[in-house]
Chains A and B, each alone.
Chain A
Amino acid sequence: SAVISQKPSRDICQRGTSLTIQCQVDSQVTMMFWYRQQPGQSLTLIATANQGSEATYESGFVIDKFPISRPNLTFSTLTVSNMSPEDSSIYLCSVSAGGEQYFGPGTRLTVT
């Protein structure tokens, strides 16, 4: 199993600023996934973060907007840059361990 914590749990930010979200896992994992859940929508994969290499971004997401760090096998950060109200979402990190999927509690971001 895996227990995931995220910080912050929520934030209200002004447009044009940036927010870095931290994700900590209690065990070592190869891949960590960052998802976005816009209001009333399901989850969409932003990128896959591999330790020691560049993150792999899904179509529609770019590194300049969502830079990711993965300094070790238990930690990752996602930055939401130059925010606009359209970035208001829940951001979740996730890992796969033993074939099961585990999710962090999410970071609820509101951009005003």
Chain B
Amino acid sequence: KNEVEQSPQNLTAQEGEFITINCSYSVGISALHWLQQHPGGGIVSLFMLSSGKKKHGRLIATINIQEKHSSLHITASHPRDSAVYICAVSAGGAQKLVFGQGTRLTINP
């Protein structure tokens, strides 16, 4: 069993829909990261969370430390949101990350 599990692995939706991607982890963490990878391969950090909730534009990330679970939400989804979304965790004082397998999101116009 992977230390970081994401669901779903693939998600296709229509423009405007509300999107939720889930991440569960089995280890103690110091922070959880949500990353976005576009088809060209570049990776951008969306959020870093250690507790609670963060919002940036149409993106919202939440984390429940007790349940070891995080969600990434996209409101009013748009085709440009199509990408792979990756959950990753860092543990203790380590800066290195352990990655989930990613969720491939496709938003159709």
- Chain B residue at minimal CB-CB distance from A29: B95
Assembled-state Cα–Cα distance A5/B18 (Å): 34
Task: Output the least CB separation between A9 and chain B (Å).
Answer: 9
Contact, CB under 8 Å: A42 / B100: yes
Report, as a range, how many residues of chain A touch the other chain: 20 to 34
Assembled-state Cα–Cα distance A41/B41 (Å): 12
**Chain A at the B interface: SS class:** strand
Contact of A101 among B35, B41, B42, B101 (CB under 8 A): B35
Assembled-state Cα–Cα distance A12/B84 (Å): 25
Contact of A45 among B43, B48, B96, B101 (CB under 8 A): B96
Task: Output the least CB separation between B43 and chain A (Å).
Answer: 4
Question: Is A67 part of the binding interface, using a Cβ–Cβ cutoff of 8 Å?
Answer: no
Task: Output the least CB separation between A4 and chain B (Å).
Answer: 10
B61 proximity list for chain A (CB < 8 A): none
Residues 76 to 104 of chain B near chain A (Cβ within 8 Å):
86, 88, 95-102
Task: Output the least CB separation between A32 and chain B (Å).
Answer: 10
B35 proximity list for chain A (CB < 8 A): 101, 103
* Stretch from A19-27, A75-83, A92-100 that touches the partner: A92-100
Assembled-state Cα–Cα distance A43/B99 (Å): 6
Sample 23 A-B pairs with CB under 8 A, ordered by A number: A31-B95, A33-B96, A37-B41, A43-B86, A43-B88, A43-B99, A45-B96, A45-B98, A90-B41, A92-B41, A92-B43, A94-B97, A96-B95, A99-B31, A99-B48, A100-B45, A100-B48, A101-B48, A101-B97, A102-B45, A103-B42, A103-B45, A108-B41
Taking Cβ atoms with an 8 Å cutoff, the residues of B that contact A are 31, 33, 35, 40-45, 48, 86, 88, 95-102
